């Protein structure tokens, strides 16, 4: 138990938040939170006094835009998006007597988007957003169980043109409540959950407001006893929009509520106590009111 916790516990949440929005605009099935990003040790952050660097590279592609019943709604739809995000997290050199630790972080990101709808095509490259977390709280009631809570916000970066088919930013702020759980069930098995609540402002360019969203990233991982630095996992996410979209004139007909379920394999390799790499491929198997596609991820972390 002790060796396992040192090797994998110190790898510090290789999958926490930053990457693409999975479509061209908020009112077309996108979220500021990058769905499926937080599937690696989400409740673990650097030790007191430590700073960690994370890199996220992802390609998302979709050839279907689903309506409220999961059927294709836009003929000739094609979306491809590449994104890169960098994350920096510092844990303050203080810990309460009860064991609560305090961290802060920031994540700038940029992307390239190509979009086709029927005979119309467009592409855009530029900054996406910055994700700011003034304060994370982490607590480990036992060596096997780790918990996280934090309040964060997305601030859009770059330019937006409401007349363009493709833009790199959603152009609205989101306020996030994050939670994280990482549980080492046994020396071989790990379960992680990362629920997030997103509360969205209005897009000032289009006057559209996307509804609020509960998303849960998750993974179930297995480490072979003969290769303790290797973990094989089933990873994914479930997205549930719990309030209606609204336009300048009032609520959107039908609510346009986004639903998604994505699943896929994940491979995690730890180089040492605090450095590692993840590759995962996630396929969206159920979607309503949004693009339905696949994402391929490469994630890396190391201490600074």
Question: What's the whole-number mean pLDDT along residues 37-48?
Answer: 96
Residue partners of 256: CB distance under 8 A and separation at least 6: 27, 68, 211, 244, 245, 289
pLDDT per position as a tens digit, 56-94: 999 999 999 999 999 998 999 999 999 999 999 999 999
pLDDT per position as a tens digit, 228-263: 999 999 999 999 999 999 988 788 888 999 999 999
- Closest to 199 measured CA to CA, from 190, 212, 218: 212
Q: What pLDDT does 160 receive?
A: 81
Q: Strand 250-251 and strand 276-288: pairing? A: unpaired
Q: What pLDDT does 23 receive?
A: 37
Lowest-confidence region among 128-142, 239-253, 267-281: 239-253
What values do phi and psi take at 26, rounded to 5? -60, -40
What values do phi and psi take at 271, rounded to 5? -75, -40
| Whether pLDDT at 8 is above 80 | no
Higher pLDDT residue, 9 or 126?
Answer: 126
Do 143 and 4 meet the contact criterion of CB atoms below 8 Å apart? no
Lowest-confidence region among 162-171, 177-186, 284-293: 162-171
In the chain, the percentage of residues whose pLDDT exceeds 90 is: 78
pLDDT per position as a tens digit, 98-123: 999 999 999 999 999 999 998 899 99
Q: What pLDDT does 204 receive?
A: 87
Residue 6's pLDDT band, with cuts at 50, 70 and 90, is: very low
Q: What pLDDT does 28 receive?
A: 66
Residue partners of 226: CB distance under 8 A and separation at least 6: none
Q: What pLDDT does 273 receive?
A: 85
Do 279 and 39 meet the contact criterion of CB atoms below 8 Å apart? no
């Amino acid at each position: 138990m002790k060796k396992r916790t040192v090797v994998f516990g110190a790898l510090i949440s290789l999958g926490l938040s930053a990457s693409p929005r999975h479509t061209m605009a908020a009112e077309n099935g996108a979220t500021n939170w990058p769905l499926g990003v937080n599937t690696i040790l989400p409740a673990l952050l650097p030790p007191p006094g430590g700073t960690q660097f994370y890199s996220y590279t992802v390609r998302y592609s979709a050839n279907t835009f689903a309506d409220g019943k999961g059927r294709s709604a836009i003929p000739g739809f094609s979306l491809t998006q590449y994104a890169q995000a960098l994350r920096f997290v510092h844990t303050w050199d203080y810990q309460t007597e009860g064991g609560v630790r305090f961290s802060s972080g920031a994540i700038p990101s940029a992307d390239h988007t190509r979009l086709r709808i029927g005979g119309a095509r467009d592409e855009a490259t530029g900054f996406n957003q910055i994700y700011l977390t003034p304060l994370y709280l982490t607590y480990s009631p036992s060596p096997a169980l780790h918990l996280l809570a934090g309040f964060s916000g997305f601030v859009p970066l770059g330019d937006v043109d409401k007349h363009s088919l493709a833009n790199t930013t959603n152009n609205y702020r989101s306020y996030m409540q994050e939670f994280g759980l990482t549980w080492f069930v046994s020396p071989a098995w790990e379960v992680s959950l990362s629920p997030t609540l997103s509360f969205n402002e209005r897009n000032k360019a289009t006057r559209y407001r996307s509804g609020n969203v509960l998303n849960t990233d998750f993974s179930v991982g297995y480490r072979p006893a003969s290769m303790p630095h290797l973990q094989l996992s089933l990873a994914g996410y479930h997205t549930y929009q719990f309030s209606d979209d609204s336009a300048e004139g009032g609520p959107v007909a039908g609510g346009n509520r986004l639903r998604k379920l994505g699943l896929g394999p994940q491979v995690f390799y730890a180089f040492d106590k605090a450095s590692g790499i993840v590759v995962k491929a996630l396929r969206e198997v159920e979607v309503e009111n949004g693009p339905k596609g696949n994402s391929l991820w490469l994630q890396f972390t190391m201490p600074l």
